[in-house]
Chain A
Amino acid sequence: MGKIRQRLYFIGVFILLSIISLVPRNQKMRIRDATTGTMKDTTVRRVPINLGLDLQGGIHLALEVDQSKGPVPDCADAIQRAERVVRTRIDEFGTTEPVVQIQGRCRLIVELAGEKDPARAKSVVQRTAFLEFRITDMKGLFKDALPQIDAALRRAGVKSRGAAAPSAVAQLFGGDTAKAERDSATDANTPGVLSSLLFQGQLPGEYLVPEEQSTLVDSLLNRPDVRAAMPRGIELRWGSQSESRGARRYRALYAVEARPIITGEELVKATARRDPVTNQSVVPFQLSHRGARKFSDETARHINDYMAIILDGRVQGQPPVIRSQIGANGQIELGAKPLQEASDLALVLRAGALPAPLTIIDEKTIGASLGADSIRDGVRAGVVGVLLVIVIMIGYYRMAGALAVASLTLYCLFTLAGLAAFGFTLTLPGLAGFVLSIGIAVDANVLIFERIREELVHGKSLRLAVDDGFLHAMNAIVDSNVSTVLTALILYAVGTGPVQGFAITLIIGIAASMISAIFVVKTLFLIWLYRRPDMVTLSI
């Protein structure tokens, strides 16, 4: 009896530990307050089992450093710095339990559970958010260099092909462009490939390009011979939006100084609000002391010049004129864009710029209702599967089968507790693995019961048959389970996300079944034999 009591204590401790790890507990989450739009900590009470994105819905992104515009020498370092920035942004973003982690060397995984707006999430994560202020080309250096650029293009044999250079007048007045295009193909006297596409804007350094020509202009500007012909200290930046003048839409192209007077690094605060007068979304910002000093020095030197606010290489709005020295405070105007966009911009500006642009290489979005359906279906399949197993086991093994079924409930408890205790995530394949492992979990009991039957057939006493049955079945149980664990470990090592979830559930399930099917069932058998010492036949 002492031995049984010891075993019971042991099982009791296990059950207690499992229950403790499954007790609903308070968890802190950062949630966006619906009324004020600010982030605040909220505590939620729930069972501490993490559900994978496929079960609760959400967004999974895999990002890498964008190497398409030239190689990045140390991508591991870039990703590590990007991880810190993205984490800061996501913490402000307002999802519960976000995952931001580096996978391998140069890959960043971002998982946002429950997030419903993938486009917004992507823009917050992916946006480089590199802010800079540059003075526009006040001296007209780019304009002076245009003939040279055109000459360079002509030398390279670039003709104004197709729609490239219809006469500017015809275009501006919305004339018969199709005819003009045909004419222009043979026109050798075009004023210049590039200059014919550019129209002087309202302020120094501003040029307008017809919307449909902007990709062509962009490709021309990226040519090495054009880059070489560019005046020193001047760069070109596109405007962020296109605007309509008359019947056509134009995109602004700005010639700006290559040296920024200040960058977003000096920014300490950014908020979003709607200007009550103009009804525009604006992002007021504040600079650090050092930044403010630099900014006021520079702006003092550039009174009456135009200053382009450039975010991720795009000029935001029309560059304002500097009327007087500017100190620590300024604002970015976003026009008619919604306030949400302004607050996201403020968020990424506060969190800082990414060290390098990131590109999304893998993206998954799962709707919350789909996840809920998956849980419902998975649980239903699990319940039916378990019921079938119970029917088979009790129908075949009677009392012994009932003991195995009793231990099966402990098996479920242990597995769930294992998932909670080690902080593993339950995914949909994991749920399937769990259901499957219930079928496999009884294998140990089947092996033991068959052995006991064999020992009984060989005429052993009940007690000896039970002991030998457990003992002799051990070898097969250990060998078969170890080989299963080995394949599961390989799955875990090689797989990603959902497959890892499956492997984890399988491994925890096997460990749990070792305890429940062997130790618990043996204890139940010992109690059974102890209470019925006069029993001659075993209900097995």
Chain B
Amino acid sequence: MIRLFANANYDFIKWRRWAFSLTGGIMLVGLVFLLTRGLNYSIEFTGGTLIQVEVHKKVETGVIRAALDNVGLNGAEIATFGSDTSYVIRARLAHSAGTTEETSSEAVAAAVGRALDQSVGPGQYTISRTEAVGPKVGRELQGKALMAILLSFVVTLIYLAFRFEWRFGLAAVVATAHDVVATVAFISVMHLEVSLIVVGAVLTVVGYSLNDTIIIFDRVRENLRKYRRQNLYEILNLSINETLPRSVLTHGTTIATTLSLLILAGEVIRPFAWVMSFGIFTGTFSSIYIAAPVLLWIEKRWPGEDARGARVFGSRAPATPSVPTPPATSPSQPRTPQPAR
């Protein structure tokens, strides 16, 4: 049998300061991009008109752009979409637009039609997709997307407090918040278009990262009960090492599927696949280097009732708001603890 990282015994936690500097550096770069360039919101959020065109024979982007300027759509963006015979034209709503949304989106569609007739020639193109979003819908969506992410934090915090203990919940949420910030930084650096699907991807990253953190915390919870003589530092390292083969395998299969989505699933899904691929890395990283050290720090800052306060997780129900131990995990046969370092 192949065993990757069997009996691995790395001191992950020792490198936490390096890890913090690394992720801090990445975030700083992301922040610079975010402040200077901002996020590239899709028209779902900004309001406006998007038209995807397939041309029958290749046309220079510049030609179409000139034609768009010619019909008065100076603010319109044009970009190739997947192949060089496929274009996406975006005309975002100007914030000060006084015209009613309906007439302006109709007008934009008509103007794009005229520009294409000029540059590509009538009948030489097919419009395969149009989207026209009013400013009201866009504003609503922005609010909803933000609410979805915040709501998922709250729900997770409550669930983890209920299943583990508030310290674990907080550490998991901090790690997940790190992933959201890192993913947004990634989106900004890659200049990916923030559409609803991308927001969905960010939320999926949230779920995936939590999932990963929980797998490690579950092992921590179990080991805390099993090895009463070791401190939290050792337990965390032990748990991360024990779950390492699983992490490698699961992330391997997930990366395999997201990469095949990224390469093969087409242009519409590509931003989603980018965010997911990055999210798997940051989710894995944060479970080990953010969630575990933060738990250690929280434990130092707000220790349990005695010096080995972490020990009380799950075993002393009245003292902490934790849930009684599920019988399945209670070790029946005591074994000698493995050396953790």
* Residues of A that sit less than 8 Å from B by CB: 54, 62, 68, 118, 359-367, 369-370, 373-374, 377-378, 380-382, 384-386, 388-389, 392-393, 395-396, 398, 428-429, 431-433, 435-436, 438-440, 442-443, 446-447, 450, 453-454, 457-458, 471-472, 474-476, 479-484, 486-488, 490-491, 494-496, 498-499, 502-503, 506, 539-540
Known: A378-B265, A393-B253. A490 touches B131 (CB 8 A): no
Give Cα distance in the complex from A432 to B242, angstroms: 31
Q: Residues 1-32 of chain B: 1 if any A CB is under 8 Å from the residue's CB, otherwise 0?
A: 11110100000000000000000000000000
Q: Residue of B at shortest CB range from A428?
A: B268
A440 and B208 form a contact (CB under 8 A) = yes
Give Cα distance in the complex from A336 to B273, angstroms: 52
Q: Residues 307-330 of chain B: 1 if any A CB is under 8 Å from the residue's CB, otherwise 0?
A: 000000000000000000010110
B215 and A447 form a contact (CB under 8 A) = yes
Give Cα distance in the complex from A363 to B102, angstroms: 10
Known: A486-B152, A506-B204. A381 touches B210 (CB 8 A): no
Choice from A118, A361, A447, A454 contacting B130 with Cβ under 8 Å: A118
- Complex interface: chain B residues within 8 A of A482 (CB): 159
- Complex interface: chain B residues within 8 A of A435 (CB): 257, 260-261, 265
Q: Which of B146-165 contact A (CB under 8 A)?
A: 147-148, 151-152, 155-156, 159-160, 163
A499 and B133 form a contact (CB under 8 A) = no
Distance (whole angstroms) from the CB of A286 to the closest CB of chain B: 34
B200 at the interface (CB under 8 A from A): yes
Give Cα distance in the complex from A362 to B257, angstroms: 33
Known: A366-B129, A439-B254. A496 touches B196 (CB 8 A): yes
B144 at the interface (CB under 8 A from A): yes
Give Cα distance in the complex from A362 to B160, angstroms: 39
A479 and B218 form a contact (CB under 8 A) = yes
> Size of chain B's interface in residues, with CB distance under 8 A?
78
Q: Which of B245-263 contact A (CB under 8 A)?
A: 245-246, 249-250, 252-258, 260-261, 263
Choice from A359, A365, A440, A454 contacting B129 with Cβ under 8 Å: A365
B264 and A472 form a contact (CB under 8 A) = no
Known: A483-B159, A483-B214, A540-B1. A381 touches B200 (CB 8 A): no
Q: Which of B78-126 contact A (CB under 8 A)?
A: 100-102, 105, 126
Distance (whole angstroms) from the CB of A497 to the closest CB of chain B: 8
Distance (whole angstroms) from the CB of B166 to the closest CB of chain A: 15
Known: A389-B253, A480-B211, A540-B1. A360 touches B132 (CB 8 A): yes
Known: A369-B128, A442-B253, A480-B215. A384 touches B137 (CB 8 A): no
Distance (whole angstroms) from the CB of B54 to the closest CB of chain A: 8
- Complex interface: chain A residues within 8 A of B215 (CB): 447, 476, 480
Give Cα distance in the complex from A476 to B129, angstroms: 44
Interchain residue pairs A-B with the least CB separation, the first 4: A439-B257, A377-B266, A388-B256, A367-B128
- Complex interface: chain A residues within 8 A of B246 (CB): 443, 446-447, 450
